């Protein structure tokens, strides 16, 4: 099954997941769609996010993708069930469940979650974690400025350090033992966040967990690639310097990047 994997996100954040997939599944090709025109998803309505996600999924299926990875926490929270129902014949992976399985297995854990407004409002992490382990203490906060900081290239600057201090230096996060980065943009800030906590909290590497979960699902379905050379193709709904810069950082200067306009309810 040498067809590509389809991956999508609202922008550059999903590239952290794509990079992890390349690392742990080096034989797998993929098609990536970054919906940069409508980024961020965190301030969009539930219906809008589902519509965007559905149209992107249709596009990826048209590219002969054998599985879909929703490399966006907001879309995972609000569109995953909708997509699974609409596309029962293709494996669809979200970025929430692998993290919940990892964190929920820990006893007497105090969990801090940072995410977009939409993901935080959905309360998906708290609900799923409590279902798995009712004893977990969970604190969550919307941190939308961190998305903008990543998109605009202000990682490892005074701007990012100040925002991390403002969001995480509050009482409810003072005694957490695990931090969930509930947005795929945030692994680009992981080292700064780890430094802020000074080693007293595990900052979960969600892209690696997602890549491992994807590998298991492909194995189960008999869909692992037998090719020895993988190809990567990137599409965006609007070309931006931030996306090109971040994609080249992960995948080199000779990436295949195309602009693709999709149309659905305002696309």
Residue 100, CB-side half-sphere exposure with 13 Å CA sphere = 19
> 32 pairs with which residues across the strands?
7, 234
Instruction: Say how far apart CA 239 and CA 89 lie, in whole Å.
Output: 31
Q: Is 72 a catalytic residue?
A: yes
Is 74 annotated in a binding site? The answer is: yes
Is 185 annotated in a binding site? The answer is: yes
> 179 pairs with which residues across the strands?
112, 203
Question: Per the residue annotation, which of 7, 15, 99, 183 is the catalytic one?
Answer: 183
Is 167 annotated in a binding site? The answer is: no
Question: Per the residue annotation, which of 19, 70, 72, 204 is the catalytic one?
Answer: 72
Is 9 annotated in a binding site? The answer is: yes
Instruction: Say how far apart CA 105 and CA 47 lie, in whole Å.
Output: 33
Is 73 annotated in a binding site? The answer is: yes
Q: Is 183 a catalytic residue?
A: yes
Going edge to edge, which strands form the sheet with 110-115? 137-142, 110-115, 178-182, 202-203
Catalytic site positions: 72, 183
Binding positions for substrate are 9-10, 41-42, 73-74, 184-185
């Amino acid at each position: 099954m040498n067809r590509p994997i389809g991956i999508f996100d609202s922008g550059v954040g999903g590239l952290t997941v794509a990079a992890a997939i390349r690392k742990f599944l080096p034989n797998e090709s993929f098609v990536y769609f970054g919906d940069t025109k409508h980024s961020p998803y965190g301030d969009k309505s539930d219906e809008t996010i589902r519509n965007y996600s559905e149209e992107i999924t249709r596009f990826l299926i048209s590219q002969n993708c054998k599985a879909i990875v929703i490399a966006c926490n907001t879309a995972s929270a609000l569109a995953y069930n909708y997509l699974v129902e609409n596309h029962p014949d293709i494996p669809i992976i979200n970025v929430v469940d692998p993290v919940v399985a990892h964190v929920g297995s820990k006893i007497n854990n105090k969990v801090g979650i940072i995410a977009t407004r939409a993901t935080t409002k959905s309360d998906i992490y708290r609900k799923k974690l409590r279902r798995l382990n009712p004893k977990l203490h969970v604190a969550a906060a919307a941190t939308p400025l961190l998305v903008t900081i990543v998109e605009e290239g202000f990682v490892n600057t005074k701007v990012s350090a100040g925002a991390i201090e403002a969001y995480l230096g509050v009482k409810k996060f003072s005694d957490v033992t695990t931090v969930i980065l509930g947005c795929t943009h945030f692994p680009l800030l992981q080292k700064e966040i780890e430094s802020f906590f000074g080693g007293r909290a595990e900052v979960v590497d969600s892209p690696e967990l997602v890549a491992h979960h994807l590998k298991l699902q492909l194995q189960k379905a008999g869909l692992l690639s037998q090719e020895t050379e993988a190809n990567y193709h990137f599409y965006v709904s609007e070309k931006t310097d931030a996306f090109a810069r971040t994609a080249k950082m992960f995948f080199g200067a000779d990436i295949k990047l195309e602009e693709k306009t999709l149309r659905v309810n305002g696309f």
